């Protein structure tokens, strides 16, 4: 039993003893006062019982809430794990036609009975590249080809500088490799040649 409960019980016992003393006194104390004190004592006892019940109910509710929070934490961890595993699902499905197109090109080139010209090969490669670039664009990837633009060190990597009196200094005159941006964030800078 807690000290708080013991204290309340002592108060109730003292109140009961006080009422008993008043009941045993001469009739100069009104009966209503005695009845009021008895009622007050009963209410104190009931309040103590209610407090114990409330404490038990609160403990039970806290246990339930902790269990619920634990379940939510576990569910969120599972969902986050699935999100990490399958976040590239849409992107991977979009790339499959590109892979199929490259497979077909290799099949045709390995087939001895099939005659293919250089123009047809270039045309097929260009079509495959268009499909690939569309997949990138649909998934938030932007291709940077900064030819004739002003050099920006945040998005471009200068491989060399070449004197060119016809152009402004720091103008990109050649692109070794295109750059790529994903949803506004640089993935790879464009490798460029810059004018002096």
| pLDDT tens, position by position, 84-117 | 888 888 888 888 988 888 888 888 777 767 777 7
124-139: string of b/e by CB count within 10 Å (b at 16+)? Answer: beeebeebbeebbeee
CB 11 within 8 A of CB 41: no
Identify the pLDDT of residue 123.
87
Confidence of residue 142 (pLDDT cuts 50, 70, 90): very high
Query: Between 3.40.50.10190, 3.40.50.970, 3.40.50.300, 2.30.22.10, what CATH number should domain 142-196 receive?
Result: 2.30.22.10
| Residue 32, pLDDT score | 57
């Amino acid at each position: 039993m807690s000290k708080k409960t013991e204290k309340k019980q002592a108060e109730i016992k003292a109140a009961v003893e006080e009422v008993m003393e008043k009941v045993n006194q001469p009739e100069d104390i009104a009966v209503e006062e005695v009845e009021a004190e008895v009622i007050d004592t009963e209410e104190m006892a009931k309040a103590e019982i209610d407090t114990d019940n409330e404490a038990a109910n609160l403990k039970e509710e806290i246990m339930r809430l902790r269990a619920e929070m634990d379940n939510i934490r576990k569910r969120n961890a599972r969902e986050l794990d699935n999100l990490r595993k399958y976040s590239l699902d849409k992107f991977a499905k979009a790339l499959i036609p590109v892979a199929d197109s490259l497979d077909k090109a290799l099949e045709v080139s390995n087939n001895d009975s099939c005659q293919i010209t250089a123009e047809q090969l270039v045309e097929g490669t260009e079509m495959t590249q268009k499909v690939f670039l569309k997949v990138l664009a649909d998934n938030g990837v932007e291709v940077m080809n900064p030819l004739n633009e002003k050099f920006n060190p945040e998005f471009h990597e200068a491989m060399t500088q070449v004197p060119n009196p016809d152009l402004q200094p720091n103008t990109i005159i050649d692109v070794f490799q295109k750059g790529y941006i994903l949803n506004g964030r640089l993935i790879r800078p464009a490798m460029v040649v810059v004018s002096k």
